Amino acid sequence: MTLRIDVIASDDPDGAQVVDAAPVIGVEGLDACHVYRVYHLDGAIDHDEVRQLCAAVLVDPVVDRHTIDAVPTPLGRAVEVAPMPGVTDPAARELERAAAQLGFPPIRVSTARRYDLVGALSDTDVAVLTRRLLANDTIERSAEGELEPSFAGEAAVDARVETVVLTGLSDDELAALSRERVLSLDVNEMRVIQAHFEREGRAPNDAELETLAQTWSEHCVHKTFRARIELTHTAADGTVSVTEHDGLLPALREVTEELDPWWLRSAFVDDAGIIAFDDELDLAFKVETHNHPSALEPFGGANTGVGGVVRDILGVSARPIACTDVLCFGPSDLPDEQLPTGVLHPRRIRDGVVGGIGDYGNKLGLPTVNGAVIYHEGYVGNPLVYCGALGLLPHGSHPTDARVGDRVVSIGGRVGRDGIHGATFSSAGMDASTVDSVGSAVQIGDPITEKGCIEVVERARDAGLYTAITDCGAGGFSSAVGEMGEELGVRIDLAGVPLKYPGLQPWEIWLSEAQERIVMAVPPEKLAELEALCDAWDVELTDLGRFTGDRRLVVTHGELGVVDMPMEFLHDGLPRREMRGAWTDPAPREITAPGFDAGLLLTLLGHPDVASKEDIVRRYDHEVRGGTVVRPFVGPAADGPADAAVLKPLGTAHNDIAAVVSNGICPRVGVHDPWAMALLAMDEAVRNLVAVGGDPDRVAVLDNFCWGDPTKPDRLGSLVRAVQGCTDGARRYRMPFISGKDSLFNEFDGRAIPGTLLISAVGLVHDLHRAIDSAGMVPGDDLWLVGEGTPALGGSLVDAVLGLGATEVPRPLDDPLPRYRAVHAAIAAGLIRAAHDCSDGGIAVAVAEMAIAARCGVHVVVPRDGLGPLAAFANEGPGRLVLAAARQDRDAVAAALGVHARRIGEVMDDDRIVMRVSDASDDAEGLERASATIVEVTLAEAVAAFTGGDR
């Protein structure tokens, strides 16, 4: 029998949130919203058992009311929303398990949410609420009234493969075939495949074609980053130079090999980069992007983005210990009429993404400790979601030598039709029809299953149970097994793969990107021990096949042949691309800059890029594992922004070394000069890291390039310039790149995002007791400024806010390390109490943020450095930090910082932020001969602007 249970909580924050959000999307008449959790049960369960089930797990006797098989009479209009079949539904699964635990007959469960919308609502209102707020039709069904349950499960089908005839197809026909099957292969690549199978004397089947498309996708093989590129660079004065670039990725690797510091353990070879932590332990770091999925299903996209990058860390045998996230969204206040068809509103994307990140990281028990949020019109159609993870592993514990005879083993989640075509989908642009064609590429994560994988991998590593390991990401088994077996060859049988529901064809099993799976090479004699370990931790294990030594990829489904290809063709058959890029430096433009005043300071503090991110970041656990030394919020009111995160990993109490993680990102600069953007982002990352006590000589960085369609010369030209900036920067800062990721084709209807480079840095604080933050100052302390200003306002926040139209960007530092070494030495010596970097909004915002963080007044005299009044306060030149130090240490600080710093003011025992400027260069004289007050605001005003007055 089938029955339904409706449960509602007596006081219900979910309903209140719907009511609050309705006016924001233009629905004014919603007075109340009552949210029911709906459970459909199917099976031989009797009414008494249903009552027991309700009492045991479904209905909280204190706050819930429920009905069994009596749909509550709606007070208004009822809308029901349910996950589509095959979408991960942990509540359904846990309820089925709870019933089994109580000894009841097996049941199948389907869940839904029921919204009773009360108020004067038109049909349009209900439709708008449903579409914009309650349901996402990428993964959910919805209807007014009652929604029929859909129980997971389809009829089993006979496994079959479909032959795809390529012989005789013209270029146009090959291109059409690639499009229809979402292969994302170009004609050249299709021709190579056609030729290969003609040589073999047979037609490929669907699974083979899909395997090639996944393995050769931009997502998996980074075609653009391996291509030969001719760049035509036109300087602002019209000088044209043409240069040849023999691969962007090789260029990045080359600098790392050239720098090759002793503490570098592994770069660019595996799922994550690895550096030394101490004598025994290493740190693994990786940042991924999950942009395309997050645009369609923000919660699920970001959710699985976290899951994916955490698996990258498992893929180098490390225990994940922390997460980071950097997010780029369209403006939250974007008027509806400016929203392109097929795009979710930026606010909804933001809320979903933030929810998805929190849900996954929190449930994995990983602190999310560092990040940034940037708002810009260019991200309306393509939000960017960068998910990072940090891991810890004993030095030398990551095996990478699968042997002939080893078993190919998968652990973790089951396989469904979810996430098919993820790799190829993210290797193409999007438009309004994308949802329909690739809806299945998006999925919801299951962090608890991944948590099990974390526990098993750590123990399996320590027990030496595997000889190689990789995560199952884009392309599913086809990529993971294909890569792992590249050298040896593998033979796989898909018939035994546990499925979420029957009905999958072999190619779907092979390609599915169902989450939370790890693939290992396991010596046959270790298999039983691994199985026992998985049983102990409630993790499912599947023995897929073996490493053969014949260098072929052979996949069967029982007796049925599915794939039979030489590894050589799969991995080396892809023709290298020849591409052309063009970049023109913008002409310098004279701007008319106004002055700087208190009102502008408050505007900058309240700008979404600067303002407090508490409403986002507090939804992430930044304390779990008990190792957070410098957390995202600092100071007595816990609302000052931290520069970077300092973490003392659990289990490393034998010394005082801590890890530090920071980031740099400045897409506004890249619009004018992508080369400078790379160097300035690297500067931001390292100065953030140094500001909390990190050692500038122990920094490794990751690159993450999010760009538009690289087949268009202007996008590619900008990308090449940014890579040049990275390689130049790595040499200037002596920071090796250890891993990276490119996400291209971030375009909507032919409009590209601003080329956006994220630099993520990982390093060390040698003594965690010397870690500082931006709030540690007390009244009477001296304030010091490191670095000089720049007149160039191109790409600055103040330029964006005032619409100045500046195109000249700050000049990157030629020799940045001496100043950072000096600052680090002063911090490590215990001379510095607080530090904060000057980034968005320049020194004015930096000083005000320190005052907010410490809840102290400040009185500063900003050196004019020959700049106009606006630039003096708000320029975003590199290499600048504000430091606070005790007055009695003044001479010692001056000696430690030397030419790199000037004393600019004092921390006050009052509630005022006062700023003046001075032409004088000498510290003492400058403070004496300052201008009249230019900015004076109270702490309360600054706090209100920064927090939006809403705590």
Partner 1 sequence: MNRPPILVPHASGTNRDGEAAQAIELAGGDARIVHINELRNGSVRIGDHAAILLPGGFSYGDALGAGGRLALELKTWFADELGAFVDAGKPMLGICNGFQVLVKAGLLPGPASVRREVTLTENARGHFECRWVTLRVDVGVSSSWLAGAAGTVVRCPIAHGEGRVAVADRSVAQEMEDRGLVAFRYMHTGAAPISSPLEPAEGAYPANPNGSANDIAGLCNESGSVVGLMPHPEDHVVSWQRPSGPEEGSGLPIFAAFVEAAG
CB proximity list for 729: less than 8 A, separation 6 or greater: 678, 679, 682, 683, 735, 812
Site string for partner 1, 3-22 (x = CB under 8 A): ------x-xxxx-xx-----
* HEC readout, 556-614: EECCEEEEEEEHHHHHHCCCCCEEEEEEECCCCCCCCCCCCCHHHHHHHHHCCCCCCCH
Cα–Cα distance, 425 to 441 (Å, whole number): 7
Is residue 363 a contact point for partner 1 (CB under 8 A)?
Answer: yes
Kindly tell me which of 320 and 416 has the beta carbon lying closer to partner 1.
Answer: 320
**From the list 82, 128, 166, 768, which residue makes contact with partner 1 (rule: CB under 8 A)?**
768
Is residue 625 a contact point for partner 1 (CB under 8 A)?
Answer: yes
Q: Restricting to residues 278-297, name those near partner 1 by CB under 8 A.
A: none
CB atoms closer than 10 angstroms to residue 4: 18
Q: Restricting to residues 303-362, name those near partner 1 by CB under 8 A.
A: 355, 358, 362
Contact segment (CB under 8 A) with partner 1 among 473-481, 626-634, 682-690, 752-760 equals: 626-634
Is residue 619 a contact point for partner 1 (CB under 8 A)?
Answer: yes
Question: What is the DSSP secondary-structure string of 211-238?
Answer: HHHHHTSHHHH-HHHHSEEEEEEE-TTS
Kindly tell me which of 363 and 916 has the beta carbon lying closer to partner 1.
Answer: 363
Nearest to 544 by CA among 521, 577, 562: 521
**From the list 173, 623, 909, 928, which residue makes contact with partner 1 (rule: CB under 8 A)?**
623
Q: What is the dihedral of CA 557, 558, 562, 565, to 10 degrees?
A: 120
Cα–Cα distance, 555 to 159 (Å, whole number): 13
Please say whether the beta carbons of 490 and 547 come within 8 A: yes
Contact segment (CB under 8 A) with partner 1 among 488-496, 706-714, 767-775, 896-904 equals: 767-775
Is residue 458 a contact point for partner 1 (CB under 8 A)?
Answer: no
Is residue 755 a contact point for partner 1 (CB under 8 A)?
Answer: no
**From the list 448, 611, 657, 892, which residue makes contact with partner 1 (rule: CB under 8 A)?**
448
C-beta of 88: minimal distance to partner 1 in Å?
10
Kindly tell me which of 652 and 918 has the beta carbon lying closer to partner 1.
Answer: 652
Is residue 951 a contact point for partner 1 (CB under 8 A)?
Answer: yes
Cα–Cα distance, 759 to 682 (Å, whole number): 6
Cα–Cα distance, 457 to 317 (Å, whole number): 7
User: What is the rounded end-to-end Cα distance, in angstroms, of the chain?
Assistant: 50
**From the list 58, 255, 701, 757, which residue makes contact with partner 1 (rule: CB under 8 A)?**
58
Instruction: Identify the three-state secondary structure at position 892.
Output: helix
Q: What is the DSSP letter of 205?
A: B
Site string for partner 1, 769-808 (x = CB under 8 A): x-x-x-xx--------------------------------
Kindly tell me which of 70 and 650 has the beta carbon lying closer to partner 1.
Answer: 650
C-beta of 147: minimal distance to partner 1 in Å?
20
For residue 268 the two structure tokens come to 């660019």
Is residue 495 a contact point for partner 1 (CB under 8 A)?
Answer: no
Site string for partner 1, 520-559 (x = CB under 8 A): ---------------xxxx---------------------
Question: What is the DSSP secondary-structure string of 752-769?
Answer: EPPPEEEEEEEEEES-GG
Is residue 201 a contact point for partner 1 (CB under 8 A)?
Answer: no
Overall residue count recorded for the chain in this entry: 951
CB proximity list for 906: less than 8 A, separation 6 or greater: 780, 781, 782, 783, 858, 859, 860
Kindly tell me which of 533 and 604 has the beta carbon lying closer to partner 1.
Answer: 533
Cα–Cα distance, 326 to 344 (Å, whole number): 19
**Strands ordered across the beta sheet of 834-837:** 834-837, 881-885, 782-786, 901-908, 857-863, 912-918, 935-938
Is residue 98 a contact point for partner 1 (CB under 8 A)?
Answer: yes
Q: Restricting to residues 819-878, name those near partner 1 by CB under 8 A.
A: 855
Catalytic residues: 219, 290
**From the list 201, 626, 899, 924, which residue makes contact with partner 1 (rule: CB under 8 A)?**
626
Nearest to 380 by CA among 795, 794, 752, 796: 752
Q: Restricting to residues 100-119, name those near partner 1 by CB under 8 A.
A: 101-102
Q: Amino acid identity of 481?
A: V
Is residue 223 a contact point for partner 1 (CB under 8 A)?
Answer: no
Kindly tell me which of 320 and 506 has the beta carbon lying closer to partner 1.
Answer: 320
Nearest to 10 by CA among 87, 81, 63, 77: 63
Cα–Cα distance, 575 to 216 (Å, whole number): 10
Please say whether the beta carbons of 338 and 379 come within 8 A: no
Contact segment (CB under 8 A) with partner 1 among 211-219, 522-530, 766-774, 804-812 equals: 766-774
**From the list 347, 417, 451, 824, which residue makes contact with partner 1 (rule: CB under 8 A)?**
451
C-beta of 646: minimal distance to partner 1 in Å?
9
Please say whether the beta carbons of 496 and 543 come within 8 A: yes
Please say whether the beta carbons of 333 and 607 come within 8 A: no
Kindly tell me which of 3 and 920 has the beta carbon lying closer to partner 1.
Answer: 3
Cα of 841 vs its chain's centroid, Å = 25
Is residue 48 a contact point for partner 1 (CB under 8 A)?
Answer: no
Contact segment (CB under 8 A) with partner 1 among 180-188, 383-391, 446-454, 504-512 equals: 446-454
Q: What is the DSSP letter of 808?
A: P
Is residue 140 a contact point for partner 1 (CB under 8 A)?
Answer: no
For residue 532 the two structure tokens come to 């026992």
Is residue 95 a contact point for partner 1 (CB under 8 A)?
Answer: yes
Cα–Cα distance, 751 to 666 (Å, whole number): 20
Is residue 44 a contact point for partner 1 (CB under 8 A)?
Answer: no
Nearest to 947 by CA among 574, 583, 617: 617
C-beta of 619: minimal distance to partner 1 in Å?
5
| Helix 346-364 vs helix 447-462: crossing angle, to nearest 10 | 40
Size of the site for partner 1 (CB under 8 A): 68
**From the list 631, 715, 859, 916, which residue makes contact with partner 1 (rule: CB under 8 A)?**
631
C-beta of 95: minimal distance to partner 1 in Å?
6
Contact segment (CB under 8 A) with partner 1 among 157-165, 242-250, 392-400, 619-627 equals: 619-627
Is residue 618 a contact point for partner 1 (CB under 8 A)?
Answer: yes
Kindly tell me which of 13 and 803 has the beta carbon lying closer to partner 1.
Answer: 13
Kindly tell me which of 464 and 636 has the beta carbon lying closer to partner 1.
Answer: 636
Is residue 391 a contact point for partner 1 (CB under 8 A)?
Answer: no
For residue 248 the two structure tokens come to 């962007």
C-beta of 594: minimal distance to partner 1 in Å?
37
C-beta of 644: minimal distance to partner 1 in Å?
15
**From the list 91, 187, 894, 944, which residue makes contact with partner 1 (rule: CB under 8 A)?**
91
C-beta of 108: minimal distance to partner 1 in Å?
16
Cα–Cα distance, 421 to 301 (Å, whole number): 14
Query: 277: buried, middle or exposed (CB in 10 Å: 19+, 13-18, 0-12)?
Result: buried
Is residue 648 a contact point for partner 1 (CB under 8 A)?
Answer: yes
Is residue 414 a contact point for partner 1 (CB under 8 A)?
Answer: no
Is residue 227 a contact point for partner 1 (CB under 8 A)?
Answer: no
CB proximity list for 201: less than 8 A, separation 6 or greater: none
For residue 517 the two structure tokens come to 């799976």
Is residue 650 a contact point for partner 1 (CB under 8 A)?
Answer: yes
Beta bridge partners of 114: 36, 80
Is residue 446 a contact point for partner 1 (CB under 8 A)?
Answer: yes
Binding region for partner 1 (CB under 8 A): 9, 11-14, 16-17, 56-58, 60-63, 90-91, 93-95, 97-98, 101-102, 355, 358, 362-365, 446-448, 451-452, 535-538, 618-629, 631, 633-638, 648, 650-651, 768-769, 771, 773, 775-776, 855, 951
